[in-house]
Amino acid sequence: MSLFDDDFYSSRVSRRKNRWIQEDAKQSKVLRSKSNWSNMRVAVLSSTISAAAAVLLFGTLFYHGGDSSDKKTPAASSAVTATQTADPYEKTITAAAKVRPMVVSVINEQYALGGISSSTGDDSEAAEGQLQQVGVGSGVIFEKKDGKALIVTNYHVISGSERVEVTMTDGTSRVATIVGGDQITDLAVLQIDDKGIGDVAEFGESSKLRNGEWVMAIGSPLGLGDSLSSGIISKTTRMIPVSLNQDGNYDWEQEFIQIDTSINQGNSGGPLIDLDGRVVGINSMKIADIGVEGVGFAIPIDNAKPIIDSLIKYGVVKRPYLGVYTLDLDQYLAQQALTKPKDNMDVPNTGVDGSSVEPNAGVDGDTDSSSLSDAVDDTGIIIPDEVKDGVIVLEAVGPSQEAGLKFNDLITKLDKTPIGSTMELRKYLYEHKKIGDTIEITYYRDGEKQTVKLQLSEKSKDDD
């Protein structure tokens, strides 16, 4: 027998029902219904009463005795909305649709080497037609003001460019002006005409991110514009050493968000967004090596905001300027260990600065160094036994030169803080000092400890 083979699910009119509604002048309806009462009707009535009681009881418990007419409808609506918005697939689609129109491709154009006319000395005409694309990155429009739209991207995306071109999601291109850039934080701000540009991207709060949270990267990987990739946050805060000059020597340490979202060439400068469509980071780099998968990094937007503000206001990030070009002591010693001849007769007699150096010469030119506990290097640098870390001054300019620092001075402290590398020197300056502050430098010259105080200045364009 089918589940639906009964009167409750049939379109036919029951004979019992016909008999139930017939008029009988000689007998009341009450008596009639009693005489025709069946087990089925008893079961139906009992079920109905039980269901009604359950609904009333549930309503009382759920609304704590409140007025159901006031609370039922909003609660039901909220439950439906929560169920819909909790769907991660829908949220990725909604978030991507919100931000994608604001994401652009950033094209770095430079003059081709063959386009420069060295024979005539006039390269303006020859080079003008030889601009070529040397790199593609991404950017995101975050502000509109006074007929202009501002775009944030990576510094390395536009570094060395003669012209920067921006391609919108609709395929149109515009020439961009560089408002400012900062190599240390790898951020830059561009400006274009805001014609046809609607909304701008909303910045979120990277400090509220959690490990495992879903995020998406939008950009132009391999030049393929308007491309999406998704993943999770592997680590909200990861300190990564950076070589600013790309020479293999780490001279800065930067905070990143580590993600497993696919990041490829061309993604640099594009936004990392959360599932609410807010920019929480600027995609910056990935680790590309054999056996490495899903290790990408983005600059936290909370760290980027003050840099962006400074670039808009000044075109640069104003930082205290010491005026020294340095080499880490441990790096220097490693180089010396590799190049130092085994035979003392082959020790070179030329220092780093090209001056003549006598092998084993002491502080005052005394060739008998047996009484000295200081190590005399074959370049003329005297490194005391107690000194294990520091930075060697290769050139002193600006405030340092005015204070008397010279080539081969070995800096070991700033104020009372030990300095073991160029990275530590920079971090101390930028995190603990401001323009105009006084700083005390402890250094060794010819093996003797000295100190000097100087006032930190602002770096000018002539100091670059």
Same domain membership, residue 107 and residue 74: no
C-beta separation of 295 from 363 below 8 A = no
The span from the CA of 218 to the CA of 148, in Å, is: 23
Amino acid in the structure at residue 449: K
Q: What pLDDT is stored for residue 246 in this prediction?
A: 75
State whether residue 84 is helix, strand or coil.
helix
Same domain membership, residue 453 and residue 393: yes
Same domain membership, residue 251 and residue 325: no
Q: Which two tokens stand for residue 166?
A: 């921006």
Q: Is 446 exposed, middle or buried (0-12, 13-18, 19+ CB in 10 A)?
A: middle
Flag whether 236 is in a domain. Answer: yes
Boundaries of domain holding 187: 98-314
Question: Of the candidates 297, 314, 331, which is a domain's last residue?
Answer: 314
Q: What pLDDT is stored for residue 245 in this prediction?
A: 77
C-beta separation of 456 from 435 below 8 A = yes
Same domain membership, residue 211 and residue 255: yes
Flag whether 26 is in a domain. Answer: yes
Q: Is 121 exposed, middle or buried (0-12, 13-18, 19+ CB in 10 A)?
A: exposed
Q: What pLDDT is stored for residue 48 in this prediction?
A: 63
Flag whether 121 is in a domain. Answer: yes
The span from the CA of 245 to the CA of 255, in Å, is: 18
Q: State the virtual CA torsion across 120, 122, 125, 128 in degrees, nearest 10.
A: 120
Q: What pLDDT is stored for residue 288 in this prediction?
A: 65
C-beta contacts of 347-352 below 8 A and 24+ residues apart: 347/378, 348/378, 351/379, 351/380, 352/379, 352/380, 352/381, 352/407, 352/408
Same domain membership, residue 340 and residue 276: no
Exposure of 277 in the CB half-sphere (CA atoms within 13 A): 19
C-beta separation of 90 from 277 below 8 A = no
The span from the CA of 32 to the CA of 21, in Å, is: 10
Same domain membership, residue 124 and residue 237: yes
Q: What pLDDT is stored for residue 317 in this prediction?
A: 95
The CATH number of the domain where 433 resides is what? 2.30.42.10
Flag whether 7 is in a domain. Answer: no
Asked if 432 is an active-site residue, the reply is no
Same domain membership, residue 221 and residue 104: yes
Q: What pLDDT is stored for residue 181 in this prediction?
A: 96
Same domain membership, residue 434 and residue 300: no
Q: Which two tokens stand for residue 243?
A: 């070589």
Flag whether 80 is in a domain. Answer: yes
Per-10-residue mean pLDDT of the chain, 464 residues long, equals: 35 44 42 46 59 54 42 41 57 94 96 57 53 93 95 96 94 95 96 94 97 94 86 94 80 91 89 97 80 84 97 95 94 84 45 36 34 47 92 95 96 96 94 96 96 92 62
Asked if 156 is an active-site residue, the reply is yes
Q: How many domains does the chain have?
A: 3
Q: Outline where 261-390 has alpha helix (H).
A: 301-314, 329-339
Q: What pLDDT is stored for residue 242 in this prediction?
A: 86
Asked if 50 is an active-site residue, the reply is no
Question: Of the candidates 27, 61, 86, which is a domain's last residue?
Answer: 86
Q: Which two tokens stand for residue 72?
A: 């039922």
pTM of the model: 0.69
Flag whether 304 is in a domain. Answer: yes
Question: Of the candidates 314, 339, 356, which is a domain's last residue?
Answer: 314
Same domain membership, residue 397 and residue 348: yes
Same domain membership, residue 343 and residue 273: no
Same domain membership, residue 143 and residue 116: yes
Flag whether 37 is in a domain. Answer: yes
Q: Which H or E element spans position 283?
A: strand 278-286
Flag whether 92 is in a domain. Answer: no
Q: What pLDDT is stored for residue 33 in this prediction?
A: 37
Q: What pLDDT is stored for residue 35 in this prediction?
A: 41
The span from the CA of 276 to the CA of 101, in Å, is: 15
Q: What pLDDT is stored for residue 41 in this prediction?
A: 59
Same domain membership, residue 261 and residue 161: yes
Select which of 186, 251, 374, 409 is catalytic. 186
Select which of 105, 161, 268, 284 is catalytic. 268
The CATH number of the domain where 292 resides is what? 2.40.10.120
Select which of 156, 227, 284, 400 is catalytic. 156
Amino acid in the structure at residue 197: I
